[in-house]
Structure 1
C-alpha cells in the first residue's frame, strides 16, 4: 500500500497542460485591479450606532443607521463628509418610521422603504440642498412585502 501511495503522489504532481474549451483561457492574475483606501474623519458627535448602507449621488452621501436611536438616515456632503442633516425620525407617528430597510436615489429624490409600516416615502432636497424634506408617502400592499 505504501508503494501505491507513492505512485499516486508522483502521478498527481504531473505538470501536463490541461486543455480548456475554445473561449476559456487560464490566467494567473486579475485583468482589472482596484484598490480601496480610507481615512478617518473626526466628528464632534457620535451619529451612528450601526452604519449599514451608504449611497452616493453627485455631491451628496447618505448613510443608513440600522439601529438608529433617533434617526435612520444621515445626509453628508461628499467627498468631505461634512454632516448636513438627519432624516427618517424613529417613532410611531404618521410622519415617523418604524424601520428603514433600504433607500434609493431616483431623479434627484430619495425613496425610503419602511416595511414594518408598509410604506414607501419620497423625500426631496430642500432649496439649500442641506436637508431632506418629506414629500409623499405611498402605502404598499401587504402581499408584496415580507410576511
Structure 2
C-alpha cells in the first residue's frame, strides 16, 4: 500500500507492506540514516522525528500514520555548508561522544525551540527527558541547546 507524505520538505511516497513502521521506511526505502533503532519501545529517543512539528518516536509509529503529514528528521535540519544553529552549538559545546542518540536529541531540541524560542534549563531538560544518553554528555547537550536558543535557532 503506498503512503505519501512530506519528508524534510519534499514529497515522498513509499510502497510498503502492512505493519511497516515509519522508522523502517525512513531507514529502508527512503535511505536515511539519522533516525536510529535503539530500543524499539519508545524509551530511548534515538528514533525521534517530527510529525507535523511535534517530536515523536518513529520506531513504533505505523507508516500509515504519516500519510499526508510532514515528517522531519535530522537530515532536514541543516547541511555541512549551512548547519542549523543547533548543530553548530552541539559542535561548539562538544556535546556528542558516541553520537548514537544525537540525531533524536537534535530533532527534539529543534521541536522545542520552535515551540519555545527562549527555554530555560528546566524546559530543555524536560523536552529531552525521553532521550537516553549513555555517554554522559547530558550537561554539554543542555548547554548546546541553550546556546542555540541564544543565537536564535530558526523555526
Q: Taking structure 1 as the reference length, what is the TM-score of the superposition?
A: 0.29
Point out the structure with the larger strand share. 1
The structure with the largest helix share of the pair is: 2
Q: Which has the higher contact order (CA 8 A, sep 6+)?
A: 2
Normalising by structure 2, what TM-score? 0.28
